[in-house]
Amino acid sequence: MPIDIQRLRALIRDVPDFPKPGIVFKDITPLLANEVAFSSVIDETVVHFGRGNIDKVVGIEARGFILASPVAYHFGAGFLPVRKAGKLPYQVEAEEYALEYGTATLELHADAVVPGERVLIVDDVLATGGTARAAARLVERLGGKVIGIATLIELEFLEGRKLIEGYEFFSLVRY
């Protein structure tokens, strides 16, 4: 059955002024709670990158973990957490990045990627693109090849695609 984007859209809730005044937060919890919508989002992502021979799937803390894990399972790939500074216990590679709201640092375990591995990056929202680009750079610094970047939601008006130009990018619901 073809995926019903309008149905997905109806399950994404706008929460104004969260976590800061002026931000409209895209709350995906109603979509995650819906078994048909959740599985179709995972399936569409897997089908899109199906010929990529993915070795590892990176999930970006925290909502990226939820989407990346089942994608990794479908591919028979490993899962790699990219986390905010100070959360990963072992040696890390770190990359500073700009968010839609503020700046932060992302980290990946220094031994997470075997050089030459093919890596897919998954998150919930592409806003300015800074987060996805930082994750891609971390993978590349460890010698991985970024096969693509996938997000459930793309905030097109922020033009995040420009920041990740050159990477294969896939999104399902666009605003």
Q: Is 141 a catalytic residue?
A: no
Residues in 20-49 that interact with ligand AMP by CB under 6 A: 23-26
Residues in 137-166 that interact with ligand AMP by CB under 6 A: 160
Q: With helix as H, strand as E and coil as C, how does the chain read?
A: CCCCHHHHHHCCEEEECCCCCCCEEEECHHHHHCHHHHHHHHHHHHHHCHHHCCCEEEEECCHHHHHHHHHHHHHCCEEEEEEECCCCCCCEEEEEEEECCEEEEEEEECCCCCCCCEEEEEEEEECCCHHHHHHHHHHHHCCCEEEEEEEEEECHHHCHHHHCCCCCEEEEEEC
Q: Is 63 a catalytic residue?
A: yes
Least CB distance from residue 53 to ligand AMP, whole Å?
A: 26
Which range, of 19-27, 32-40, 65-73, 111-119, touches ligand AMP by CB under 6 A? 19-27
Which range, of 73-81, 85-93, 129-137, 166-174, touches ligand AMP by CB under 6 A? 129-137
Q: Does position 100 bind ligand AMP by CB under 6 A?
A: yes
Residues belonging to the active site: 63, 100
